Amino acid sequence: MRDTLFEVTCKQCGRSLARVERIRDPEIAILEDHLRACGEPLGEAPLLGEVMGRVRVASVERARSSVR
């Protein structure tokens, strides 16, 4: 089991959108859904780069993930 997770945060509103081991299609879909509802509209089939350009990805340690 890996100790590191990726936390994805919306650049526009600062909300944490996902905390996952790997960012895959289901996570991308969540990000797209949020980005459509938050700020500037996203195209029907946005490129991965467009989606990732609007979020911030940070690695967090699993054991400390609830402590800041």
Binding site for Zn ion (CB under 5 A): 10, 12-13, 38
The nearest distance, CB 15 to Zn ion, in angstroms, is 5
Cα 43 to Cα 57: distance, rounded to the nearest angstrom: 21
The nearest distance, CB 9 to Zn ion, in angstroms, is 9
At residue 60, what are phi and psi to the nearest 5 degrees?
A: -130, 150
The nearest distance, CB 2 to Zn ion, in angstroms, is 27
Residue (12 or 65) nearer to Zn ion, CB? 12
Report angle CA 45, 51, 56 to the nearest 5 degrees.
170
